[in-house]
Structure 1
Amino acid sequence: MSGVEFIAVAAAASSIIAIADGITKVSQAMADAQGLPQVFRQAESKLAIVSDILYATKIAFENHNVSGVEITVQKTVANCQNSWEKLNEIFGKVIPDDGASSWVRYRKAVKTLGKGNKVENLMKDLMQNVNLLATLKIMTEGGCQEVIETNPRKEKFEAQIAEVEKWGPSLPDSIFDEGEKYSLHVSGTNNTFVQGENAQQFNLKDHAQSIGSIHGGYHHYASKPTANVP
C-alpha cells in the first residue's frame, strides 16, 4: 500500500458518530409521529441499518487501534454528512406536528433544497456512501497499514440500497418548475383534482364535498354532477 496517504482518524470517527447519533434521535421522533408521508416510513427502516453500520465502523476503528485512515475516507464521510444534514433538515421541518399537512411541509422543504433532494434521493446517496466505508485502508497506532472490513453484511446492505432505488417518487418533479400553476381535472364521475402550490378548493356551488386529504400537493374532491368546469 505504498503511496497511500492517510489522515488522522479522529475527525472521521467524530463525524461518523455525529451522523449515527443524529439518526438515532430522528428515528425515535419519527416512531412517535403520526400522519407522515409514506417515504418517511420507508426511510425509517433503512436509517436504523445505516446507524448500526456507522456505529460498527467506529467500533472497528477501536478494535484495530486505528490512528489514521486513507484520505479518501474524508471525502466519503463528508458526502455522508452532506446527505444526512439535508435529510435531517427535511425531517426537522416535517416530523413536528404544527397543524399544517405533513405533505405540504415536506413539499416546501424539498422545494427549498432543490432538485435531487427528495427523501428517496438523499437516502440512496447516504447509503451508497456508507457502503464505501465497508472496506477501509487504515494505519494502526503501531505504524502498520491494513485493510479492514467494517461491515461483514455488505451484500445484504447492497440489497437494501437496491430496494431504495426502486422506491417511487415521493413528489412530482413538476414542483420545481418556475411559476408552477395549479391544474384542474374533472373526471366523468365528477371527481375534481386540483394540483399546484397555490391550488385552492373549488366548491361547485353547494354540492362539493371534501372526501380526502392532501397527498403530495394533490387535492381530491368529489362532487355531485351538477356543474361543468371548463
Structure 2
Amino acid sequence: MPGPGATQALMAIRGAKSTLQNTNNVYADLDDASKDLPNAFHEVAKVIPLVERTLGTIETYIQSRSRKTKEETREDQDAYQQIAKLAKQCDERAARLQTIFGKVIPPDGTPVQERYRSAAGKGGRVELLMKGILEDVIALAKEPFVGPDEAECLRAALKEIMELEPSLPENTGSHVFNNHGSGPQSIHLGTGDQNINTGPAPQFNGQFMAPFHLGGFGFSNLEM
C-alpha cells in the first residue's frame, strides 16, 4: 500500500489526468459549427494526450516503487510532495482550460470570439494555459520517473505552443459589452461625468449656480 506521500502524489496526478481527459472529451465533440475556433484550440488539444501519458508514466512509477519499498524515505517524501504540488497546479490550469473549452466550443448562436473573450478573461488564452501545464509537467518529468525521450517530447511541444500566434488580441481589456437591442448603449469606464441625451429636448451640461433662467425651448421664466 502506498505511503502517505505517495498517496498524496497519486491523488493529485489522477485529478489532473481526469480534468485533462474531460477537456479532451469536450474537444472531441467539435463539429462544423465550431470551425471558426482559433488555431490555438486545435494545437492545444493535440498536446493533451501527451501530457496525460506523461502523468500516467509518473503514476505507474510511484505505484511500482511503493510496492517495492516498505517505508518512504525522506528523499521519497520530498519528491512526492513536489510532485503533488506541481500536479495540483497542472490540474488547476487544466480545469480553467476545460471551462473555456466548454463555453467556447459548443455553438450557441454567439460569435466564437465573443464567447472566447468572455470565458478567457484576463490571462486566460488557451495557449498560455497549456504553456503553464507543460512547464509543470516538464518539471515533473525527471528520471527516474520519466525517461529522457518523453521529456524531450514535452519540451518540443512547449516550443510549438510558445510559437503560436495569440488566440486573442494582446492587451485586450477584460470588459465585454454586447448590445442586441435597438436602443443606445452608453458605456463609461473612466472618471468624471457622463451626460447622455437620447430625447428631442436640448441638454444643458455643466455645473450651475442658482439662479439659472431658461427662456425659449418651451420654458418660460424657469428658475433653477
TM-score, normalised with respect to structure 2:
0.65
- Equivalent-residue separation in structure 2 for 1:7 and 1:162 (angstroms): 36
- Residue in 1 aligned with 2:151? 154
Deviations 1:105-144 (A, max 9, x none): 1110112xx2x22111110000010111112xxxxxxxxx
Q: For the Cα contact (< 8 Å) 2:16–2:91, is it kept in 1? A: yes
- Equivalent-residue separation in structure 1 for 2:101 and 2:118 (angstroms): 12
Larger radius of gyration: 2
Q: Which runs of 4+ in 1 moved over 6 A?
A: none
Matches within 5 A, 1:165-184: 165-176=162-173
- Residue in 1 aligned with 2:199? none
Structure 2, unpaired ranges of 5+: 181-224
Which range is displaced more, 147-156 or 83-92? 147-156
2:119 is the alignment partner of 1:99:
no
- Residue in 1 aligned with 2:82? 72
Q: For the Cα contact (< 8 Å) 2:9–2:84, is it kept in 1? A: yes
2:32 is the alignment partner of 1:25:
no
Q: Which protein is richer in helix relative to its size?
A: 2
Which range is displaced more, 34-43 or 51-60? 34-43
- Residue in 1 aligned with 2:50? 49
- Residue in 2 aligned with 1:121? 128
Structure 1, unpaired ranges of 5+: 1-5, 136-146, 181-196, 201-230
Give the C-alpha shift of residue 62 in structure 1. Answer: 1.4
Indicate the SS of the match to 2:49: helix
Indicate the SS of the match to 1:148: coil
- Equivalent-residue separation in structure 2 for 1:14 and 1:168 (angstroms): 35
- Residue in 2 aligned with 1:84? 94
Deviations 1:14-38 (A, max 9, x none): 1211221222232132122131332
- Equivalent-residue separation in structure 1 for 2:24 and 2:146 (angstroms): 23
Give the C-alpha shift of residue 101 in structure 1. Answer: 2.3
What amino acid sits opposite 1:61 in the alignment? I
1:131 to 128, 132, 138: 138
TM-score, normalised with respect to structure 1:
0.63
Q: For the Cα contact (< 8 Å) 1:56–1:151, is it kept in 2? A: no
Change (3 A) 1:117 1:18: same
- Equivalent-residue separation in structure 2 for 1:94 and 1:162 (angstroms): 25
Indicate the SS of the match to 2:158: helix
Q: Percent identity?
A: 26
